[in-house]
Amino acid sequence: MSRIDRRGFLQVLGGAAASAGLAPFNSAWALEARAAIPARPVIVVDAGHGGIDPGTIGRTGTYEKDVVLSTALELAHQLEAGKRFKVYMSRTDDTFVPLGERVARARAHDADLFLSVHADALPEAHLRGASVFTLSEKASDKEAAALAERENNSDRIAGINFGTQDPEVNEILFDLTRRQTNNQSIRLAQQLVVELGHRVKLLNHTHRSAAFVVLKAPDIPSALVEIGCLSNLQEERALREASYQRTIATTLARSVNDYFDVTAKG
Ligand code: ZN
């Protein structure tokens, strides 16, 4: 079986056994599903934008691509220092990486988790705070749809169109896998909201969903964090500071650890 077949199938069966109220040990499938979480999970940290794509531009000219890269580098550094995970980044410098390529790289690394780091811009300059997104074809609100549209524009900016390569799997299995992944992504988002909420300001609608291309790996739990609003002067200033980036990175690293603590308990 290909990776998506096998792992997805095991996870789905494990999940089905759990929701049917079966004790995990009654099911060899569930045992295998639990074993599917490797001893050293692979985390892909994705710094949004890069190269010719600056992302959003702050009130005083701060580029999203720069602040998210330094924050993502710090996050990768902290995760590596914990020695619990294998960590990869979709970019480590100011280069352009198409959205489809980011997902393809995560899958090539056999990622167990994909975390995309972005910064927001809102029409209302007084609004500030972080927020977390998971994938949904139907956006949770109008602003979420507009944001996904903006973030998805990256590939059009570069004139590159990466089509998704549909894996050759049974359609039903694929749907089940995707549903399971979506549940895990929501759990990740909840951990992110909790940890961010302890340390930084959050937007009112903290966890939202929209059709972000970069969250579309059907078999990798994924979330996108907007670490703050570059459209707010105060937050733009904070986002440029190494100490604030470190605080954000620490909360994101904690969320990843929380997620695997909960997952390991099954
Ligand atoms: Zn962005």
Mean pLDDT of successive 10-residue segments in the chain (266 residues)? 48 48 39 62 97 96 98 98 97 95 93 97 95 90 87 65 50 78 95 95 90 89 97 98 98 97 80
Residues 12 and 99 in one domain: no
Q: Tell me, in angstroms, the distance from the centre of ligand 1 to residue 22's CA.
A: 42
pLDDT at 158: 55
Strands across the sheet containing 130-135: 86-89, 42-47, 113-120, 222-229, 130-135, 202-210
Residues 30 and 87 in one domain: no
Cα–Cα distance, 99 to 94 (Å, whole number): 15
Q: How many domains does the chain have?
A: 2
Q: Count the Cβ atoms, other than its own, within 10 Å of residue 74.
A: 21
Q: Tell me, in angstroms, the distance from the centre of ligand 1 to residue 12's CA.
A: 32
HSE-CB for 210 with a 13 A CA cutoff: 23
pLDDT at 142: 87
Task: Give the domain extent around 219.
Answer: 41-265
Residues 21 and 85 in one domain: no
pLDDT at 36: 65
Q: Tell me, in angstroms, the distance from the centre of ligand 1 to residue 212's CA.
A: 10
pLDDT at 170: 61
Cα–Cα distance, 116 to 125 (Å, whole number): 24
Residues 122 and 205 in one domain: yes
Look up residue 225 and give its amino acid. Answer: V
Residues 84 and 6 in one domain: no
Structure token pair of residue 211: 């059709």
Residues 22 and 60 in one domain: no
Cα–Cα distance, 81 to 194 (Å, whole number): 22
Tell me, yes or no, if the pTM score tops 0.75: yes
Q: Tell me, in angstroms, the distance from the centre of ligand 1 to residue 116's CA.
A: 9
Residues 115 and 9 in one domain: no
pLDDT at 87: 98
pLDDT at 29: 43
pLDDT at 22: 39
Q: Tell me, in angstroms, the distance from the centre of ligand 1 to residue 110's CA.
A: 24
Residues 15 and 98 in one domain: no
pLDDT at 166: 54
Residues 29 and 117 in one domain: no
pLDDT at 155: 67
